[in-house]
Amino acid sequence: MKRNVLIIGAGGVAHVAAHKCAQNNISLGDIHVASRTLGKCKAIVDSIREKGSQRGSGLLKAHQLDALDVEATKALIRSTGSQIVINVGSPFLNMSVMTACIETGAAYLDTAIHEDPDQVCEPPPWYANHEWKRRDACRAAGATAILGVGFDPGVVNAYGRFAMDAYFDEVESIDIIDINAGSHGRYFATNFDPEINFREFTSNVWSWEGGQWKSSRMFEHRKDWDLPVVGRSTAYLTGHDELHSMSKNLGVPNIRFWMGFGDHYINVFTVLNSLGLLSEKPVRTAEGLEVVPLKLVKAVLPDPASLAPTYIGKTCIGDLVKGTKNCRPREVLVYNVCDHKDCYEEVGSQAISYTAGVPVVAAAMLIANGVWDVRQMVNVEELDPKPFISLMNRMGLVTRVRDEQGDRVLDPYKESPATARSPKQVVDAPAV
């Protein structure tokens, strides 16, 4: 049983995570928010107070922290008595924050893979380049580290695992589909940090096909999907974090990630990328100033958090799983639909931040109550998905399933067979 949470970061996801921690602080204890810019942390604390999100008593406090400084992070973990660290800052911070957690024994959670500022799209599997190198250290320290537990990666990993357990004897393919059918009304904006958003698309696309990594170009493969609520949606094969652990842990031959893009997004992206304005490598102006183009593009684009007040429409994210059950082919879609306006009314954020921020807090609660406190490093598909899906159903992210029997809310304890099938390397988690 662990208590007291330190949230690192003060962007859109941190905002949602802090609100959700405050809503659940009877089990989570004190809530601390720390980032490079104290003012942004204070704004989050103020917004929690305004919304009255905090349920129980307990501290709610903002801190200034350079999370690349491991000693400073350790000191803050210790001084705040935090036993759970939710790292939702820049992905450039992951390894520093993880080190601080291992060395203090705090549980570590994040929602995106570590990135090296100078490297875009490292060789697959991406987790092996940074995070997995610390697996032995986590085990030796008995430190719990749950990697990539936002929505995608995170919930979609659990959906894949749950579908395998509950609905199939053999799974042939998992297609993860991420559609934002919402509208922010601006000329152009990204829904999360533009720097991180664009870095996903500026290099080649890795997908897992026939049990092997396959490389293609961005926007090379498009497909229209027929989805609940948002309807027929165009998505493009995209490289994404979860493929790099699910391919290793699930034994499924085909795992792909499809992201929806409108023609306008693609046009703006193509212009910027073709001109070299999305590069992470510095260029020198005629005046001799060294500038990383992507950082300037980030500076001129709207702050993703500023989109929330006028954002309308819905997201639909899920796993379309194909395989066989009792020797017959089967197709199941496990998914969530989230409404931008509802999210804004509840916590003051749009749905992209909300769908990433709620799962990581659900995971923190499962660590706090011991269910997911596995004292080692894992990716989400290695954990029992049932308590996670069940808890999120009560936290604002309702999972649904669509199969030959229709479309319904997914109650994982009703749908799941009594004895779960064990995919490779699944960690035994205590039952709820």
Residues that bind a second copy (CB under 8 A): 187-188, 267-268, 271-272, 274-277, 279, 283-287, 289, 291-293, 295-301
Our CB check for a second copy shows the closer of 140 and 291 to be 291
DSSP secondary structure letters along 144-201: -EEE--BTTTBHHHHHHHHHHHHH-SEEEEEEEEEEE--B--SSS--SS-HHHHHHTT
- With 0-12 / 13-18 / 19 or more C-beta atoms within 10 angstroms meaning exposed / middle / buried, residue 325 is middle
Shortest distance (Å) from residue 10 CB to a second copy:
12
Amino acid making up residue 423: P
Order of strands, sheet of 60-64, starting from the edge strand that comes earlier in the sequence: 60-64, 31-35, 5-8, 84-87, 107-110, 145-147, 377-379
Our CB check for a second copy shows the closer of 35 and 249 to be 35
Peptide bond into 153 cis (omega under 30): yes
Shortest distance (Å) from residue 85 CB to a second copy:
22
Shortest distance (Å) from residue 43 CB to a second copy:
16
The percent of the chain in helix, strand and coil, each rounded to the nearest 5, is 40, 25, 35
Distance (Å, rounded) from C-alpha 299 to C-alpha 303?
8
Shortest distance (Å) from residue 64 CB to a second copy:
15
Our CB check for a second copy shows the closer of 173 and 279 to be 279
Shortest distance (Å) from residue 284 CB to a second copy:
7
Shortest distance (Å) from residue 187 CB to a second copy:
5
Distance (Å, rounded) from C-alpha 384 to C-alpha 427?
8
Shortest distance (Å) from residue 344 CB to a second copy:
24
Distance (Å, rounded) from C-alpha 14 to C-alpha 241?
19
Our CB check for a second copy shows the closer of 185 and 276 to be 276
Contact yes or no for 169/326 (Cβ under 8 A): yes
Phi (first) and psi of residue 68, to 5 degrees: -75, -15
Of 220, 199, 207, 214, which Cα lies nearest the Cα of 175?
Answer: 207
Contact yes or no for 314/181 (Cβ under 8 A): yes
Our CB check for a second copy shows the closer of 35 and 54 to be 35
Our CB check for a second copy shows the closer of 284 and 394 to be 284
Our CB check for a second copy shows the closer of 224 and 287 to be 287
Our CB check for a second copy shows the closer of 140 and 275 to be 275
Shortest distance (Å) from residue 267 CB to a second copy:
7
| Secondary structure E strands in 45-101 | 60-64, 84-87
Of 306, 312, 346, 309, which Cα lies nearest the Cα of 16?
Answer: 346
Our CB check for a second copy shows the closer of 267 and 422 to be 267
Q: In 3-state terms, what secondary structure has residue 312?
A: strand
Our CB check for a second copy shows the closer of 285 and 419 to be 285
Distance from CA of residue 143 to its chain's centroid? 21
Distance from CA of residue 400 to its chain's centroid? 19
Our CB check for a second copy shows the closer of 59 and 275 to be 275
Shortest distance (Å) from residue 37 CB to a second copy:
9
Shortest distance (Å) from residue 6 CB to a second copy:
22
The strand pair at 170-180 and 314-325 is best described as antiparallel
Shortest distance (Å) from residue 297 CB to a second copy:
7
Amino acid making up residue 155: V
Distance from CA of residue 233 to its chain's centroid? 22
The strand pair at 406-409 and 283-284 is best described as unpaired
